[in-house]
């Protein structure tokens, strides 16, 4: 799978260093600082994909941004739209690599949490 281009600055609501928020488990996973044995199934400059630790279905993955987003609702609309488009492209390519190629059968659930925007495929 090819790496996707970046979506640029995610706005003013990122962590103080613009990337990693101390104490955020998703930042720790995305930046390989987690104490657990999480395997990155996909990685590029902006995103990682991992398998959910409690999968509800056979192909239950989390596509996580490497840049911490303090509050997804505060992002600029254009940045959010571009990020979602890029995440969808990555997700469809990743699922295709798993043998799931019928996009109409793929469901993408976007969960907005207080500290991260996490699409699960």
Among the four given CATH numbers 1.50.10.20, 3.30.1780.10, 3.30.428.10, 3.40.50.300, the one describing domain 25-118: 3.30.428.10
The pLDDT of residue 105: 64
Read off φ and ψ for residue 48, nearest 5 degrees.
-135, 155
More confident: 85 or 2: 85
Is the backbone of residue 94 left (phi > 0), alpha (psi -120 to 50) or beta? Answer: alpha
Tens digit of pLDDT for each residue in 4-63?
333 333 333 344 445 778 888 888 888 888 878 889 999 999 999 999 888 887 888 888
Domain boundaries, the chain: 25-118
pTM for the predicted model, two decimal places: 0.71
- Spatial neighbors of 121 by CB under 8 A, at least 6 apart, are 49, 59, 60, 61, 63, 91, 94, 95, 106, 108
Alpha-carbon Rg for the chain, nearest whole angstrom, is 14
């Amino acid at each position: 799978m090819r790496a996707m281009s970046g979506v640029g600055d995610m706005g003013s609501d990122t962590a103080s260093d613009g990337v990693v928020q101390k104490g955020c488990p998703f930042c720790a996973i995305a930046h390989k600082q987690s104490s657990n044995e999480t395997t990155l199934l996909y990685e590029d400059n902006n995103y990682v994909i991992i398998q959910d630790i409690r999968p509800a279905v056979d192909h239950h993955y989390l596509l996580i941004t490497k840049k911490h987003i303090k509050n997804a609702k505060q992002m600029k609309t254009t940045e959010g739209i571009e990020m979602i488009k890029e995440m969808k492209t990555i997700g469809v390519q990743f699922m295709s690599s798993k043998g799931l190629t019928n996009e109409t059968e793929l469901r993408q659930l976007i969960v907005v949490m207080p500290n991260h925007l996490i699409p699960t495929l």
